[in-house]
A and B are shown apart, each in its own frame.
Chain A
């Protein structure tokens, strides 16, 4: 019934998710290719993955039009354009990092004839198939129009990552990490699913646009702007999604999982689930409020702030705790991957600042920040993935001592990305933080900015270790055994990302403009009359 009533919106939605459909097809193809007996076909798996990602960027650029987005009844109509291009582009870089590492030993064994080909043992096809599925799920979040869709997209983004962690290294630690990740992920999914159900109970609809409309109507709300049930649902949904961001209090898994997975998978975990969580919050938060929204309370028209106070308070608290615990935790680490795990927790805290600062400047700043973060994060893990010690990942800071003397380019790229993460001009990280902090200032969140600035200062302490140890440290007997992996792809990715960290500010104006198209339609065309009619038709149908 619903489907019939909203069939024009359905066709628009189907068109909008064409990139994801393409990736789905790609996932199937890659899974089959990976099982091929022919070694060169198996070797082509990363290449095919990359081609499908490029294809999805192209298709996304073609199908994402304002008319279609409005027709699809999206709360954030233009979010998809920029976000999908960003996800797929970073995905491409991640393919370069991960490509050669999966099944490397096994393929060598096959090549040398030490082992016969065994389809049960090859993992490359599965890995990249799940890789594409997760990316497709992440992209789907950007075009979410209802809670079911959001839940399915979030799970599509998450479930493959559990498998990826498990198969990434084939060691017990990786499997332990995957199990932890899976169980805690399930806990978080249960949390936000419960939140969603409360939201449905409070408003009687799953459509986000409709829900937002109902939350402005007098029979649903009280003076604070949100009914109690919806408020509780919102808090649970936000906290559940916080798991994807690795934000407090759902951040506990991060260090263990990052450490357990291979560097290339960690690079994926550092970015994809994070942007998935951010996009989910971006489509969810405007349901509860919008800048300058007026509601009728006992016949009086009241102008609401961007978010109702309790929800803003949750985000505020989560942001502060996440930044602080992340940075403080990172201070104690000697293991680079654990350090970067805590650093990524802290980065989520900064992202929360932008989410809290409102759907225009704040969201734009977050989307722009994610670009810089994605490139920098990939650069760092690509450097780690380019190195190995006795066939194992490079783990501790000591392994990196004096890297400059043996692999100067990698050391420079690591230094550039660490400095960018501190937020030093003129690197991309500085401009990201600048946009975030200035949007927060405009939104009146000066306390948050001060907390974030103090945290940035603390973070300099451990980020600078990533500069000082490779650049100034003395190589020792331990680092003698550290060498570059045979494949040049991770190094290439490191160089591309490192150079990007340095050169992206040159296109600053264009990038910021691209990011700000994401929120364009939101404020200008709230709900067109036809959509109103449709929404009421949907309501009547129920």
Chain B
């Protein structure tokens, strides 16, 4: 009842008064020591990480680390679930675990006299929503990885699961932490885990380069976050959410300067863009696919990359204070969505297509935040987590079975290959969700974002809405390009190997993966597989076993069920469960009016040509049309008439005017190259200049010169230490006399 009441309150708000609503809508946190067991959600992955470390140190040669991690994460999920069921969600709960950072000082004129960041959890419905899918997907993907990584048992197996556990701990700290310092701890922790896992195959130069790229790109973003946290403390004197929201509600008393207040959202934004791979910091995410596929699914699709959205949703009241901040978020998100989608169209590596689609979908989420629907953004995070994890796991399963093959030109008709049935059909479900096919989860969440862009009545947002619609068309096209190429058409495939350069090194361990029995083709030789070519006729792809198939089916079910809240919301006029969750959190200020009867703003919306008065319904229709159109184009080019796609490409290339288009797309708009020239090269030059300065002047003249001084000084006194007793005695007596004389001199001065 209470939930319904607050929804009806929110219904009275229009986006124009977001700022006023933001601070008022957050109830004060209730200290809840009785929920201290929620700390288990952080503790369990931490213990698992330590145990994996012990396993690695002891050289465990079985699947024990995987089992430990899976059990720990399942237990963490169970804890989250029981917290979700037991905790009343009327107000946020603060669970103080122990004192952590606590500085207090006194001083004249000091604005603030303490810096407190206890190890406490801030749990509201947003936290719970996030933790449910983080721990849920985390445990499922860990189970998947127990089979997927089995070629590495005894080698990197413990390291892999240790890193995954570290990731889950850090992600928990990021999401559940009661203050921005804990968020920062988690933020850096997930960055570390991401770095470790991207560089998992550390003997492969491209993996190492990708890991470093991800780390450095994230550093740039993290600088923004660190500055943002500092500015928040400087202006509001606290980094704890509860106190911060109270201070904001009170109008930010004691704030030092306007500019520093205005800079806060932009700093946080930079952090969010780095972690969530938005323009200009998006180039690391596609390269991050060098990591093992479960990692791509968990970290680089479902959870970590949504941390930026979480950050903005959590600190939404701060963004609402600054008029242009959200517009910037919307523009950047929309531009990223479009650019990434265009690149995704022209890639041949299916994992890379999925990576660019992740960047693109993250762009949608930021668009949602920017146009003022935190619900849409969070809902899209939620649905995307399932279907994108599903898509990646399908890619991984294909790769696992096809000896590292990822090139969509070299696989076809997998749906008919024995053992690939589950993969193909769950892959299809994932693609439908991603394409926004009507009545799938992705459809509802994406539409709520696009509809809000149109509903806002702001001309900029309307333009963004059109771009988002066009991007939805592109999304549907490239998604089904992959599916029709890989799973549709006549059955034809060749195995991958390291020479193709597409594998994530899984090919290297491929023989090990084949050598276990139990998937129906054990016993025949595999010697030549890794070398491609001649092996094609005697090579059989192997389908996955229970752990992979089961997880695929479970996540597929999750991806389908993610639409249920919307069914209930749209069809039965019950409050959308996710929307209720968001409206009870600090992101509540970003929930727009939820008015199916057609508000005054809906009368002149940009989609009125459809003849549908309600902007949401109109968007649904138009977006469905765009999606289906994209799928149809894909059907034509990649199922019915595959030659046409190549002919179109050839035609574009032959025409001087359109030549740039396929090249630009295939070369990812040359963003990496541009960054190289604009940033890396000058930095490289500067680095060498400074190195020379350091070597020659600092080290050579200043340091070594100073170091020589004491030695020279020592040599000066050396004759005094001649070993002769008389000399020593005389020098000592002389020293006493000198000092006594000196004291008398002080004496005479009247000291």
Contacts and interface: CB of A to CB of B under 8 A. Distances in A.
Contacts of B746: 309-310, 313
Given A235-B739, A317-B739, A461 B747 contact: no
B717 interface: yes
A180 B734 contact: no
Contact of B747 (A224, A248, A249, A329): A224
Contacts of B713: 328
Contacts of A191: 736
Nearest to B735: A249
12 contacts: A228-B747, A239-B736, A252-B728, A252-B731, A252-B732, A253-B728, A256-B721, A310-B746, A313-B742, A317-B739, A328-B714, A332-B714
Interface string B711-751: 10111011011010101110111111011101100110011
A332 B751 contact: no
A135 B740 CA distance: 31
Contacts of B733: 187
A266 interface: no
B710 A331 contact: yes
B751 A313 contact: yes
Given A249-B734, A252-B720, 19 more contacts: A179-B725, A187-B732, A188-B732, A191-B736, A235-B740, A239-B735, A239-B736, A249-B738, A252-B721, A252-B732, A256-B721, A313-B751, A314-B739, A318-B739, A328-B710, A328-B713, A328-B717, A332-B715, A332-B718
Contacts of B725: 179-180, 183-184
B707 interface: yes
A313 B743 CA distance: 7
A331 B716 CA distance: 13
A310 B746 CA distance: 6
A249 B734 CA distance: 8
Interface in A161-212: 179-180, 183-184, 187-188, 191
Contacts of B747: 224, 228, 231, 310
A327 B709 CA distance: 12
Nearest to A318: B739
A231 B747 CA distance: 10
A248 B733 CA distance: 11
B732 A249 contact: yes
A236 interface: yes
Given A328-B714, A329-B714, A458-B710, A224 B751 contact: yes
Nearest to A309: B751
A232 interface: yes
A123 interface: no
A184 B730 CA distance: 10
B748 to A, nearest CB: 10
A221 interface: no
Indicate the size class of the contact surface on chain B.
20 to 34
Interface of A is mostly: helix
Nearest to B707: A461
Contacts of A461: 707
B740 A232 contact: yes
B739 A249 contact: yes
B728 to A, nearest CB: 4
Contacts of A235: 739-740, 743
Nearest to B712: A328
Contacts of A327: 710
Nearest to A256: B723
A327 B711 CA distance: 10
Contacts of B727: 252
A183 B742 CA distance: 26
A202 to B, nearest CB: 14
A187 B733 CA distance: 9
Contacts of A232: 740, 743
A253 B725 CA distance: 8
| Nearest 7 CB-CB pairings of A with B | A249-B735, A309-B751, A252-B728, A328-B714, A328-B710, A310-B743, A332-B714
A250 interface: yes
A313 B746 CA distance: 8
Contacts of A231: 743, 747
A110 B527 CA distance: 73
A187 B726 CA distance: 11
Contacts of B718: 332
A184 B732 contact: yes
A252 B730 CA distance: 10
A325 interface: yes
A231 B751 CA distance: 13
Interface string A295-324: 000000000000001100110011000000
A61 to B, nearest CB: 36
A236 B741 CA distance: 12
Interface string A230-253: 011001100100010000111011
Contacts of B721: 252, 255-256, 329
Nearest to A329: B714
Contacts of A309: 746, 751
A219 to B, nearest CB: 20
Contacts of A328: 710-711, 713-714, 717
Nearest to B727: A252
Contacts of A224: 747, 750-751
Contacts of A255: 721
A239 B739 contact: yes
Interface string A322-366: 000101110110000000000000000000000000000000000
A140 B743 CA distance: 31
A332 B711 contact: yes
A255 B738 CA distance: 23
B735 A250 contact: yes
A250 B721 CA distance: 12
Contacts of A236: 736, 740
A184 B728 contact: yes
B465 to A, nearest CB: 57
Contacts of A248: 735
A180 B740 CA distance: 24
